[in-house]
Each structure stands twice: as C-alpha cells, then as structure tokens.
Amino acid sequence: MEEALVNWSRGQFALTAMYHWLFVPLTLGLSFIMAIMETIYYKTGNEKWKKTTQFWMTLFGINFAIGVATGIILEFEFGTNWSNYSWFVGDIFGTPLAVEGIMAFFLESTFIAVMFFGWDKVSKKFHLVSTWLVALGSNLSALWILVANAWMQHPVGMHFNLDTARNEMGNFWEVLLNPTAVDKFLHTISSGYVIGALFVTGISAWYLLNNRHIRFAKKSMMIAAVFGIVSSLFIVVTGDSSGHHISRTQPMKLAAMEGLYEGQEGADLVAIGVLNPNKTLTNDEDAFHFKIAFPRLLSLLAERDADAFVPGMNDLVYGNEEQNIPPTSEKIRKGDMAIQAIKDYREAKENNNDSLAGVHLEKFNKFYHNMGYGYFEDEKEVVPPVALTFYSFHVMVALGFLFVLLFILVIWNTMNDTILSKRYLLKAAVWAIPFGYLASMLGWVVSEVGRQPWTIQDLLPVKMSTSHISTGNVQTTFWIFAVLFTILLIAELSIMIRQIKIGPK
Amino acid sequence: MFETLSHLALQQYWWVIISLLGALLVFLMFVLGGQTLIGQVANTEVQKDMAVNSIGRKWELTFTTLVVFGGAFFASFPIFYATSFGGAYWLWMLILFTFIVQAISYEFRKKPSNFLGQKTYESFLLINGLFGSLLIGMAVGTFFTGAEFSIDQVRITSPGDNIISRWESPLHGLEAATNIQNLLLGLSVFFLARIQGALYFINTIDDETVVGKSRKQLLWNTIPFLLVFLPFMVMLLTGEGFAVNPESGEVYMEPDKYLQNYLQMPVAGIFLLVGVLGVLAGIAITLFRQSNKGIWFTGAGTVFAVLSLFIVAGFNNTAYYPSTFDLQSSLTIQNSSSSHYTLTAMSYVSLLMPVVIGYIWYAWKLMNRKNISAEEMESGEHAY
C-alpha cells in the first residue's frame, strides 16, 4: 500500500484521538469528584456544598461538550479511514463499540441533562442518583472502548474464517475479560482520576494563591487530593501489572520502552537515560549515552523473577536459540504460508474441491498466529520507533511519582492548615495540571507507538488496514480536523479560564 | 435463547434493530430541524434562548442515537461499515463535521469569552440542522439507488493491492448528490426535521410569539415536505429495485421491486400508511385544533414511516446497499452481517434496549413537566 496514505491515515487517527483524550480523562475523574461533593450536600444539606458541586459541574459541562465533539469522529474513523481493518476484525471490534453506545452513552446523555437542568425539576435524591449515573456512564464507556483497544494489543477469543476473509468472535467473555483489557481499563481510568484530582487541586491552589474563595478551595482541594492519592496508588499497581502482561504479549514493545537491544538475564530497569541516536539493531554502539538504572528490576517486574531473561529487540528480530525465541524471518515465512493457504483454500472451494480445501484450512490454522508477518518483507519492520516509546514511557512514570508526592504534601498541609503559607506548593499544584495531561497523553504514545507496526498484534499490520482513498483526501481531512479542533480547543480554554476567574457563586 | 435462532433469523432481528434506531434517529432530528428554525421563531433574545434551551436539553439524545446507530451497524453489519464509511468518505465526513460543531455550540454559545462569538455558534447549529439532516437523508437514499463500489475478499492476500472493499467513484460519496431520488429523500428528511422542530417548540415553550411563529413555520414546511416526499415515493414505487436470488445469492434488477416489497410484506405497507397518517395527523391537530401534542403523532408517524422504508430496503430478498458498479458486490443482510456467534452475543446486549428506552422516557417526563418560560431563562439557573 502507498506509504504516504498509511502515514496520513495514522496521523489523522493520532491527531483526533489525542484531541479527544485531552477531554476524556477529566470527564472520568471530575464526574466522581462532583458526585462525592453532591453526596456531601445531600447528606448535610449545606448549601455551600451545592454551590461547590455546581461550580465544578460548570467546568465539567464545558469540557464534556468538546469531549463529545471530538469523540464522534473516532468511532466513525474506523470505517472511514480503516476500511480493511473494519472488514478484518469488525465482527469482534464492532461489538464493544455498540455495547458502549447502548450501555454507557445513553446513560450519560440522559442523566447529564437531569444533572444540569434538573436541580429544580427533580427531587434531591433523584438528582444525586443522576450525577452518580453520569459518572458511572462515563466510566462504563471507557471500559468498552478500552476492551476494544486491548483486543487489538492482545487479540483473544476469535478465529479466522477463510470463507468470509475475516476474524470472527468465538468467545465474548474472553474478549471482555482479556487480562490486557482489565489492566488497560484500570490503569487508564485511574489516570483519568488523577487528572481530575490534579485539575481540582490546581484550580483550588490558584484561588488560594489569589486569596479568593478560601473555604471553598480548601474543601475542594482536600477531597481532590485524597481522591488523587488513592488513584495514584492504583495506577502504580495497575501499571506494574500492565508491564508484566506486556512482557508476555508484546515483548517488542517492552524492549522499546526500555531501549533494550540485547536481551539479558537479570535485566536492569532504566530510571533515567539518554538514548544514543546512532544505535541501530545491528551496529555495536552503546544504546545509551548515559543512564542510571535499577539493577535486575526489569526482570523482576516483567517476569516476577530478578534473574529471568528479558528479550531485547535483537533477540526478537534475529532470534535467540538459547532462549527459544524464533527469528522474525521465520515468522514472515510462516505468515506467507498462512496467506498462501487462504488463496489456495478459496481456489479449492471455487472448484468445489472440499477435501483439498480442508488440507489448506489445516495448513492455515497451523500458521494463523503468524499471519500478519506475511505482509512484511523486511524483518526490521517489526521494530517500533524506539526513542519516542522510551522517552514517553520514562517521562510518564517520573511524572506519576511526582504527582504522588504532590498529593501527599497537599493533604499534609491542608490537614495541618498550613497550606496557605506554602506558596511554592500551591504554585506546583497549578503547574501540575498541564503535566497531568502530558503524562496521560504519553501513556497513549507508549501504548500505540510502542505496538507499531501492528493494528492487530501479529495478525494485521497498519499498512494493510487503510481505506481505498487517495492520500490527498486524507490530507485534506487531516488539516480540517487540525484547524477545527485547534479552534475549538482555544474556545474551550478561553471559556474555562474565564469561568475559573469568575469562580463559584 | 438467541443461540438457537438461525443465522438468518438473527440477521433479520438485527436489521429490525438497525431500522428502529434509524427511525428513532429521524424522529429525534426535531433537534436539528429546530436548530434551523431558531432565527425564524424568535423575535427577542429571550425567545431565542427559550428555543435553544428547548431543543438543547435533548441534543445529546439525538447525537447519542446517531453514535449508537453507527456502533450497532458496525457490530451487526461490519461489511457495510467497511464499505460505505471507507468509500463514501466525503459524504460521511461532511455529516460528521456538522455534528462536531453542533456538540460544542449549545454549551459554548452564551458563555463569556467564547472566542468565536454567539453568532458563530448559532450558525454552527444552523449548519448542522441543515446539512446534518439533508446529508443523512441522502446517504439513506443510496440504500435504494446504489453506490459505486466493488468487493473482492481475495485482495486480503495481496500485499500490494490489499483493500477488500473499493470505492469506484473518485467523488467518494459526493456523487450521491447527483441522483435526484437521493436529493428528494434528503430534502424530505430536512423538511420533516423542521416540521418536528416546530412541533417540539409548540410542545415545550410557553411563549405566544414563539408558538405562533412555530405554527406558521409548520404550515410553510409541510407544503415543501409533501412536494419532495411524494415524488420520492412515486420514484421508489415505480422504479427498478435490487433483488436477490435467495438460492444463489445473485443480485439482479427487478421492475417495481419496492412496490412488490410493500405488497408482499403488508406490515411494511401498514407501517407506511400509519406513518404518513401519523405525520399528517400531528400537523393537522396542531394547525386546526390548536393542540400542542402534535409532536407525538408526527413523531410516532415518522418512526413508522422510516421503519417501513428500512424494511423494504433490506427484507424480502433485497440488497440494502446495492453496488451499481458491480451488482454482485451489493450488500444484503445475509452477506454483510456479523457471524452467528457475534449476532447472538449482541442480541443479548439488545435486551438492554427496553431498559434504556424506559429510563430515557422517565427522565424525559420529569424534565418536560414544566414548559420553558421567559422567567426560567432569566432566573440565572443553568441554561444554554
């Protein structure tokens, strides 16, 4: 396929997905924070808590609208720009998207109207339930879309049907309870909770720095920081579990995340490092200009054994007999055979030769799990962009730990009522907001860049997934999206900042 | 329970669900129609606010129904998704662009420092109302008139030329606008959306001017609606259709195919009749009896009429997404659906639909108990 078309299609998906992801995590986290606040209002009847809830709801609404605007395109883009992909896996991938709509989107859209406009129209209790349902709905929607994404990273519960030339679902529960999906869901929503927490903490800190709304800000800050610390701990646990799974399902991604070219027993985990840009798979240069590493920690985290072998990119591309890792060239050969078997099977079927078709079917099933490799010509194609994956991963992790520190300091100082005098901490809390978004975005870069060149791990490369359109068409829509979403983002930020300046009523 | 059904029964069940979602979507397009009427039913700023807030509390429902319609289509008929969305690229992209700008316009319109200004957001609503309804109508028109694509599954085995479903018109969907029947259906949906928008204003707003002007708009949109919808129906019932041989799967042209479908599936004919009568009854009681309940009759009528169109498009051995480039590439509910297993799993999920419809109806009732008034707009409570 034309390389430019593949790249522009990828670029457009990345652009639209990242714009969407600017707004989603806040929805996930803030919806729960609002629901907790409204619960306190419901329990105490204190009008101040109602005003507090309503203020955060105003910001939620502004953010939600643009989240919806940027979200609709993603669902349809699977069809518009990834037609072959939709054909190849639509039988499985469409299901979570449909369930997301039926289970989550209707819940959100119905009760969000009650939440915003129902204060005087429904009972206090019904209103509270509506707010919780909005939180539930937004998180349920995250569940289903992440199940879909996880399936692409680690396809399970399906088989390939040669008669329809596509993968078909064999077990719904395997797709839903895919360990990659469980980790991904928990890790991603907790990152959303941390962003929600950083957002509320940061804005409250800004009020405190300006000596405004002091009581409101302290209350909001405390709830958010506690919510944030709990969520952060959850991120650490689920991040660890993700790493463990990736070592099994996407070892190449793990090697890229760590800049690991040569596999090692008792592999170190890089804490800080500067990659050597001249390093290639085959040359003898050092992979790093500089690094500080925790000894043997990578083996421990990935394999749950400090002495275990963690394969590097070279092992995965060129094979490692000692560790029983086949070279990519062999997988390419098997993939070729799988694809040839499809052709032969269909030819035999056309000639009504069922017994011959059966032979080819058997051959196909033998090589199915390597099918995607058959579309590659060069074994090096299976290596993702190392630097982007490596730096994204390390900056994300470092930021995550800094947020934990921030939440601890905020809770400590709020409890001791010393927060007002800690101006450096308040300033840090304000600055943490954009870094929270950065960390979350980088998480997606690790996940999606790190799994290149696959759309479906081992089964379908990105270059086989596009629609039959000219590059020019995709370029045009790319720029329309870029301009449109940027304008809407500016409008959103401008409105949001203004509302924050106005403050709670 | 569902696993015992045949593949064909599941395919038919899912075509009914898709049809129902499509029908509900067209009913909920009263939001889009209303968006095109804002400037025509309001004199003052407060009246404009009332109109915006009336439909503004339902826009997310329409939007969500569109998204679920897409998602359900993907899950149950993924081959349509791969073929139509990836092929009629510009038609779908234009539709999506108009919904993107809709989604922020209600919320941002009156907010201070909104960068683009209130007028821009209102023009976004107008654009979405006009083109969203028109283009979706045209896209559905191609279910009867066909599109230019070809399908070859063996392409998956050739790395160089690998895309199974290929669009054969360089216009990528815009060519739908060159077909008069598509245009007539697009305009029908547009005027119907406006009719429903006016009826919804009448149903939910306490303001003599807005209601009076909405009545006038109702009349002025019913006439063009009939002038485009009737010719569409005449063309549909007298033209050729895309028939499928149930034995061989071969697609061929059959004279009066859709008329035959109506005759051979009386339920579709009855739905059409009930639908058209419902739409007209809603209009009539509003215009001649000063009722404000017209939206319910017209809305229900819309649902029935659209359902009947989907039924004749897909049932009775008919190709619902025909290819005029290569007849044998045409999509039928049998050759474009998900597997038996997936449709079964999805059918269990579909059991949630009554629950969903139930809570939507309940919340709707609660939220619409009190009509929108000028006092509410000026009370300082949350409003768009």
Quote ipTM for the complex.
0.94
Contact A502 B112 (CB under 8 A): yes
- A62 to chain B: closest CA residue: B107
Burial status of residue B325 (CB atoms within 10 A of its CB: 0-12, 13-18, 19 or more):
middle
Closest C-alpha among A209, A42, A68 to residue A126: A42
Q: Looking at A371-470, list the stretches that DSSP marks H as alpha helix, in order from N- to C-terminal side.
A: 386-415, 423-449
Number of A to B CB contacts under 8 A, please give it. 289
Cα–Cα distances in angstroms (integers) from residue B340 to residues A170, B9, B74, B369, in the given order: 10, 10, 15, 44
Determine the distance from the C-alpha atom of residue B365 to the mean position of all C-alpha atoms in its chain, rounded to a whole number: 23
At residue A1, the pLDDT reads 55
- Residues 95-154 of chain B whose Cβ lies under 8 A from any Cβ of chain A: 96-97, 99-104, 106-108, 111-116, 153-154
**Helix, strand or coil, per DSSP, at residue B334:** coil
Q: What is the pTM of this model?
A: 0.94
At residue B154, the pLDDT reads 85
Distance from CA of B217 to the nearest CA of A (A): 27
At residue A341, the pLDDT reads 95
The arithmetic mean of pLDDT across residues B271-285, rounded, is 97
The residue type of B357 is I
Cα–Cα distances in angstroms (integers) from residue A36 to residues A48, A60, A135, in the given order: 14, 14, 10
Question: Mind listing the pLDDT tens digit for each residue in B186-202?
Answer: 999 999 999 999 999 99
Q: Which of B68, B151, B168 is the best substitution to test chain A (most A C-beta atoms within 10 A)?
A: B68
- Residues 317-356 of chain B whose Cβ lies under 8 A from any Cβ of chain A: 338-339, 341-342, 345-346, 349-350, 352-353, 356
- Residue A90 in contact with partner chain B when CB distance is under 8 A: yes
Point out the residue among A75, A473, A490 whose CB comes nearest to the CB of B67. A75
Which token pair is A198? 């950083």
Chain B environment of A85 (Cβ under 8 Å): 82
Point out the residue among A69, A103, A494 whose CB comes nearest to the CB of B104. A69
Rounded Cα gap, residues B299 and B358, in angstroms: 17
Which residues lie below 8 Å from residue A323, measured CB to CB, with a gap of 6+? A263, A309, A311, A315
Kindly give the parts of chain A with pLDDT less than 50: none
Which residues lie below 8 Å from residue A405, measured CB to CB, with a gap of 6+? none
CB A312 within 8 A of CB A264: yes
Contact A114 B67 (CB under 8 A): no
Which residues lie below 8 Å from residue B156, measured CB to CB, with a gap of 6+? A84, A87, A88, A165, A342, A464, B162, B164
CB A106 within 8 A of CB B369: no
Which token pair is A129? 């339930």
- Residue A164 in contact with partner chain B when CB distance is under 8 A: yes
- Residues 30-59 of chain B whose Cβ lies under 8 A from any Cβ of chain A: 57-58
Query: What does A284-340 look like in DSSP terms, one character per residue?
Result: -S-SEEEEEEETTHHHHHHHS-TT-EE--HHHHHH-BTTTTB--HHHHHHHHHHHHH
Rounded Cα gap, residues A102 and B13, in angstroms: 16
> How many CB atoms lie under 10 A from the CB of residue A164?
16
Instruction: Share the mean pLDDT of chain B.
Output: 95
- A66 to chain B: closest CA residue: B104
Contact B71 A109 (CB under 8 A): no
Point out the residue among B81, B102, B345 whose CB comes nearest to the CB of A95. B345
- Residue B174 in contact with partner chain A when CB distance is under 8 A: no
- Residue A343 in contact with partner chain B when CB distance is under 8 A: yes
Chain B environment of A1 (Cβ under 8 Å): 159-160, 162-163
Question: Mind listing the pLDDT tens digit for each residue in B295-309?
Answer: 999 999 999 999 999
Distance from CA of A281 to the nearest CA of B (A): 25
Lowest-pLDDT choice from A107-121, B14-28, B320-334: A107-121
Distance from CA of B109 to the nearest CA of A (A): 10
Chain B environment of A129 (Cβ under 8 Å): none
Q: Which residue has the tokens 């993939």?
A: A335
Contact A117 B153 (CB under 8 A): no
Contact A464 B92 (CB under 8 A): no
Q: Which residue has the tokens 């915006």?
A: B52
The arithmetic mean of pLDDT across residues B48-65, rounded, is 95
At residue B381, the pLDDT reads 72
Distance from CA of B229 to the nearest CA of A (A): 29
Enumerate the β-bridge partners of residue A294: A269
Cα–Cα distances in angstroms (integers) from residue A32 to residues A131, A237, A437, B363, in the given order: 8, 21, 18, 21
Q: β-strands B241-244, A269-275: how paired? A: unpaired
Chain B environment of A475 (Cβ under 8 Å): none
At residue B75, the pLDDT reads 95
Q: Which of B21, B50, B60, B128 is the best substitution to test chain A (most A C-beta atoms within 10 A)?
A: B60
At residue B155, the pLDDT reads 86
